[in-house]
Structure 1
Amino acid sequence: MSGIARILKYTAVATALAACSISTASASDKITIMVGGINKIIYLPAKLTENLGYFKAEGLDVVLLSEPAGVNAENEMLAGAVQGVVGFYDHSIDLQAKGKEVESVVQFSQVPGEVEVIAANQEGKIKSPADFKGKTLGVTGLGSSTDFLTQYMAAVSGLKHGDYTILPVGAGNTFIASIQQNRIDAGMTTDPTVTQLVASGQGKVLVDMRTADATKKALGGLYPAASLYMPNAWINSHKAETQKLASAFVKTMKYIHTHTAEEIAAQMPKDYYAGNKDLYVSALKASMPMFTADGRMPEDGPPTVLKVLSTFKPQVKAAHIDLSKTYTTAFVDAANK
């Protein structure tokens, strides 16, 4: 073999090895997603997708992290610590009003799945949001979707923000403790916490937004909530990865609609049951109607969310919101073909 031929051979081998290295690195790059409370049933599709092996089936290395409130998860994304958030779609609109462009890639739910729960000792005293005056209301975090929805319900009932007190109390055990310790008179939370409070007699449901009909009654329309949202810039520069994420999650949404609550619960970590699997299954059954069948954004949903936010957020009301930039159906459409 001549010297030139040998050089060409080694160059070709080196190029092939480099290409293989690049391909391997690309395939093994981690995508980190922050979940606004990973054990909440509203965000169940995140952990379920992981446990069903759908991320790996798409060739993805996805790391799921958890923050107690969606607003904390949002902040992690804006800081560049994570690539995406499993949280409420309404943050996409709120952030656009602040000059930040993020969009929902997969829509997990068509309604919030949130419930306004009153402490048992407030029964008869708080009969509607109009009775929030002078009360302390629990939310997961300031600037969270529970904060948004609480302020909206108070505003349309004729109350000003100073008429009541908003207290961030997190979710799950910290929310329950806040009820038990009389730190809050009422608060907004999700399952399985709602079912736990009602079953124990410590809480009563005031406003239920776990079904389409109840949500339309409370908010005037569908309110698409739990979603995978990501910065538009990252999506545009990582379309292949985004498509794989969407395909994995769409498989999960179809799984949810073709399996029972018992079968779905069996796929979840046992610590999510909080020591009572039957209660968890019961909570899951109550929340199942909120999930979309295919990951698509309901067409009439975004205008309702914009209406709700602009009711009490002057910044959103004053902004020229382009709803088409707050979500995309391109990836779920491709996944559903």
Structure 2
Amino acid sequence: MRTHLRLPAAAVSAVLALATLTACGGDSSAVGSGGKVKIMVGGLDKVIYLPAMLTQKLGYFTDEGLDVQLLTEPAGVQATTSLVSGDVHGVVGFYDHTLDLQVKGKHVQSVVQFSHASGEVEVVSNKAAAEITSAKDFKGKKLGVTGLGSSTDFLTKYLAVKNGVRTDEFSTVAVGAGQTFISALQQNSIQGGMTTDPTVAQILDKKLGKVLIDMRTPEGSKAALGGPYPSSSLYMNTDWVNKNKETVQKLANAFVKTLKWMSTHSPEEIAAKMPTDYAQGGDGLYAKAIESTLPMFTTDGVMPADGPETVERVLRAFNPNLKGAKVDLSKTFTTEFVDKAK
């Protein structure tokens, strides 16, 4: 009997990403022939970044005459590194990196804002649930994040500081997402951590932990962070955007069309369009994960009012790079392209 080894879609994408970057690193100064664009995603199988793959599956990139290659990295901070180094044209990741990069002298802007909530969830293991009942209990604990310097790292530190716990009084541990996060929770390498769906849905389904802070809705983000929190977006180097406006407009057209499609279709219909390997816990659980996360998405790609101010306030609470530094929020995003797409 022959056995066929089937790699998960995210793993295959990671291999393809490595091969592509090795072959053509630093070649993102212009769009290739036929409108080829390389976009790095901070985890293609994460529901918070679902519009990237969904746009490809719906054929909207092709409709715009674009040949888009979607690559994947397990954490947004690594995806950002690929953009800064010139390996890709854009990143689907968290908007907050645009502020962090600006104070480091790198000018990057969000051109399509996918969300108006963070989409993140702080979970705690069943073993630690009795001693971690709020962010005030983070002191002395090991908390999982996708990567050090990632948006989950930023938000975890903010929640701690907001609740009277200094960043040196607990540890953040880079455990990625999916199975690596779940294994760390099971082995007590972390007592809790910040992650997204479908990882959250799998943890709850396996009864390995519980939700402590839910930021998948605008209301949940406002309660935890004090306002709308624009997170997943398409961001690109500002100079590149200015030199390639026609291509950026086509990308905006495709993504806005996807966001509108998502707002008029059920979680089950959305799940059916995605690669089957993304449904690690089964089709039903994957659809449930999408349903829980859908409220975070915008329908038009526009930056939410007061969103950038919320992100700046959150980052300034703990990020030494921003303390005393001036940030020009108007240069961290643009609505030029999504306004035309509408």
1:147 — aligned with what?
Answer: 153
Q: d(CA) in 2 for partners of 1:220 and 1:55?
A: 36
Question: How far 1:26 moved relative to its partner?
Answer: 6.0
Alignment of 1:31-70 (within 5 A): 31-70=37-76
Work out the number of aligned pairs and report it. 312
Taking the aligned partners of 2:125 and 2:56, their CA distance within structure 1 comes to 35
Secondary structure at 2:102's aligned position in 1?
A: helix
Query: Which of 225, 229, 244 does residue 238 from structure 1 map onto?
Result: 244
Q: Which moved more, 1:26-35 or 1:43-52?
A: 26-35
Structure 1: which amino acid aligns with 2:179? N
| 1:6 aligned partner | none
Q: TM-score, normalised by structure 2?
A: 0.90
User: Which residue does 1:98 correspond to in 2?
Assistant: 104
Tell me the alpha carbon deviations over residues 112-135 of structure 1, each in whole angstroms, 9 at most, x when there is no partner.
100000011111100111101110
Aligned residues of 2:114 and 2:233 also touching (Cα < 8 A): yes
Counterpart of 1:159, as a letter, is V
Q: CA deviation at 1:317?
A: 2.5
- Which string of whole-angstrom CA distances, capped at 9 and with x for unpartnered residues, describes residues 74-129 of structure 1? 00010100010000000001111111100000000101100000011111100111
Q: How far 1:181 sits from its partner (Å)?
A: 1.1
| Counterpart position of 2:131 | 125
What aligned pairs does 1:71-110 form with structure 2 within 5 A after superposition?
71-110=77-116
Answering whether residue 309 of structure 2 is matched by residue 303 of structure 1, we say yes
Tell me which residue corresponds to 1:269: 275
Corresponding residue for residue 220 of structure 1 = 226
Deviation at 1:199, TM superposition (A): 1.6
| Code of the aligned partner of 2:175 | V
Judge conservation of contact 2:35–2:65 (CA < 8 Å) in 1. no
1:327 partner SS: coil
Residues in 2 aligned to 1:119 and 1:177: alpha-carbon distance in whole angstroms = 11
TM-score by length of 1: 0.91
Q: Which digits, 9 at most, give the CA deviation of each residue in 1:179-226, with x for residues without a partner?
A: 111110000000011011012110110000001111111000010000
Once the two structures are TM-superposed, the CA of residue 275 in structure 1 deviates from its matched residue by 4.3
The residue type paired with residue 93 of structure 1 is: L
1:292 matched to 2:288? The reply is no
Whose helix fraction is larger, Structure 1's or Structure 2's? Answer: 1
Contact kept? 2:302, 2:335, Cα under 8 Å: yes
What stretches of structure 1 move > 2 A for 4+ residues in a row? none
Select the residue among 176, 189, 193 that pairs with 1:187: 193
CA distance in 2, matches of 1:229, 1:162: 31
Post-superposition shift, 1:136? 0.2
Q: Is the 8 A contact 1:27 1:60 kept in 2?
A: no
Residue of structure 2 equivalent to 1:335 = 341
Q: Which amino acid aligns with 1:296?
A: V
Question: Aligned partners of 1:133 and 1:106: how far apart in 2?
Answer: 37
Show the counterpart of 1:258. Answer: 264
Q: 1:117 touches 1:207 (CA, 8 Å); kept in 2?
A: yes
Distance 1:64 1:154 in 2: 34
Q: State the alpha-carbon separation in 1 of the partners of residues 321 and 81 from structure 2.
A: 18
Q: Which runs of 5+ in 2 are unaligned?
A: 1-30
1:199 matched to which residue of 2? 205
SS of 1:28 mapped into structure 2: coil
2:171 alignment counterpart: 165
Q: Give CA deviations for 1:274-298 in whole Å, capped at 9, x if unaligned.
A: 0411000111111111100111000
Q: Pick from 111, 114, 120: which aligns with 1:114?
A: 120
Q: Distance in 2 between matches of 1:198 and 1:234?
A: 42
Distance of 2:178 and 2:131 partners within structure 1? 24
Counterpart-to-counterpart distance in 2, 1:199 and 1:227: 29
1:145 and 1:83 map into 2 onto residues whose CA distance is 20
CA distance in 1 between partners of 2:193 and 2:291 (Å): 22
Q: Confirm or deny that 1:248 pairs with 2:257.
A: no
Residue type at the aligned position of 2:105 = G
2:52 maps to amino acid: A
Task: Give how far 1:29 is off.
Answer: 4.0
Measured in 1, the distance between the counterparts of 2:210 and 2:38 equals: 37
Q: 1:36 Cα shift?
A: 0.1
Residue 148 of structure 1 deviates from its aligned partner by 0.1
Name the SS of the counterpart of 2:154 in structure 1: helix
Displacement of 1:314 in angstroms is 2.4
Partner of 1:312: 318
Distance 1:281 1:228 in 2: 24
The one-letter code sitting in structure 2 at the alignment partner of 1:38 is L
